[in-house]
Amino acid sequence: MKISLISVFPQLYDSFLGTSLMKRASEKGLIDVQASSFFSYVEPKERIDAPAFGPGAGMLLRPEVVQKAIEDHEGRRGKALRVFFSPHGKLLDQHLLTSLAERAQAAGHLMLIAGRYEGMDVRVEEHFADEIVSVGNCVLMGGDLPAMMLLEGLLRLVPGVVGKQESVTCDSFFGPFVDYPSYTEPLVWQGKEVPAIVRSGNHGAIEQWRQEQAVERSLAGHFAWTRSSELDARAMKVFKKLLPKHYMVLMHDEIDLGEDKVGTTSITSIDIHDGARSARTYGVEQFYLVTPLVDQQMIAKTLLDFWVKGAGVTYNPHRHDAVSRVRMSTSLCETIAAIEEREGVRPLVIATSAKSVEGVRSLDYYSQGEVWSQHRPVLLVFGTGKGLARSAFDQVDYVLGPVQGFSDFNHLSVRSAMAVVLDRWFGYNPKMIPGAKK
């Protein structure tokens, strides 16, 4: 593959290209790299940059200089897949690398154009770019490190560049999970021992351990990647096994009734149905209804009996399935104790609230890893009325921040809130990857 690098500082690539696998790929004839400076396309003392129009400081690479560089390389080496770099570009990930590797190999010529200063006149990207790539939500001084990053990632996918292709496709982000932990000699280092299973010689057991470790790591730090990936049946099975068990409870006691009053609210059938269906959809183990009032418990029991063992079983089997997960309880404290008895460990209790709550550790919808790496079941607590009273917040470990939209209205029904919170917390939401094999 021909590779053209165009940069303000092409000398930055000298040691990069002259070392290790890059050097070997050139020696083997797998890549043929030429780097040029933008300065080669202006007369001596002529500038390659010019100030941006409008207020504010900043110099931009001149469009006609970039054009000359591109036309020179393509004139000599043929039409290229042209990649520009900018923070506003497509975020680089394994899917984008795979797509670029395929397109670059098909073109036979990959051109990487590294910006510098405040970037480029936007018309150049609009006119020439086949892809604009960002390497992260941050700003660097120039596009050369992004170009090197892209090359390291892309060339690993070109047959022959990395020794064993198998070691490439087993790496992080080739599937829904990151890589498992690896160990080498010595057996004990800094008091930490290599796990016995890794040295057991039992390939089946090692394989299973590795897969579980990969899932654990992904749950702790890369759930955003996992939830956006397509999970096959095997991956889904191990993921479900290792995801901590989730429970939820809808409180009709310890409720803020306004004007400094705390008390109970009434059970509603629609909350029970919708909560149960959301719970079933997201894989919640049990959905508790808390009310200390005997007559309210009787109303709920009549409804539950209909769906769990009455005519509802055949009338609507799906509803029966969902409602069968509902449990009655007289208090939050009793609910926590029931889950502890079932799981053998106290759940981490996470309250939800439409307002911020003083004195309780707050979580956002990006902190699942912090919770899940504690390897404990999770209980999500939902309030009714004007929300949970202080006495309820005093029993929880965390409070999840309010669900918000880009509006000034903050009055979701608890039914909607339950569904939105479950989805934000652990909804599965695979991305459609263009060209991915189904």
Closest distance between ligand SAM and the C-beta of residue 96, in Å? 12
User: Judged by CB, which is closer to ligand SAM: 87, or 312?
Assistant: 87
Closest distance between ligand SAM and the C-beta of residue 91, in Å? 9
User: Judged by CB, which is closer to ligand SAM: 116, or 227?
Assistant: 116
What is the rounded distance in angstroms from the CA atom of residue 308 to the CA atom of residue 325? 9
269-281 vs 294-308: helix crossing angle, rounded to 10: 50
What is the rounded distance in angstroms from the CA atom of residue 322 to the CA atom of residue 312? 11
Closest distance between ligand SAM and the C-beta of residue 149, in Å? 9
User: Judged by CB, which is closer to ligand SAM: 122, or 337?
Assistant: 122
What is the rounded distance in angstroms from the CA atom of residue 172 to the CA atom of residue 30? 25
Closest distance between ligand SAM and the C-beta of residue 142, in Å? 4
What is the rounded distance in angstroms from the CA atom of residue 107 to the CA atom of residue 302? 69
For the chain, count helices (H), then strands (E): 18, 18
Which secondary structure element, helix H or strand E, spans residue 297, and what is its range?
helix 294-308
8 Å CB contact between 158 and 105: yes
* Cα–Cα–Cα angle for 193, 194, 196, rounded to 5 degrees: 105
* Sign for the pseudo-dihedral over CA of 136, 138, 140, 143: positive
State which amino acid sits at residue 385: G
Find the Cα–Cα–Cα–Cα dihedral 411, 413, 419, 425, rounded to 10°.
40
User: Judged by CB, which is closer to ligand SAM: 92, or 399?
Assistant: 92
Pair of tokens at residue 418: 């339950």
Catalytic residue annotation: 87, 118, 156, 171
8 Å CB contact between 346 and 395: no
What is the rounded distance in angstroms from the CA atom of residue 303 to the CA atom of residue 399? 31
> Looking at the DSSP assignment, which residues form a beta bridge with residue 188?
193
Closest distance between ligand SAM and the C-beta of residue 406, in Å? 23
User: Judged by CB, which is closer to ligand SAM: 114, or 332?
Assistant: 114
User: Judged by CB, which is closer to ligand SAM: 121, or 274?
Assistant: 121
Closest distance between ligand SAM and the C-beta of residue 13, in Å? 15
Q: Which positions lie near ligand SAM, rule CB under 6 A?
A: 85-88, 114-116, 118-119, 134-136, 138-143, 146
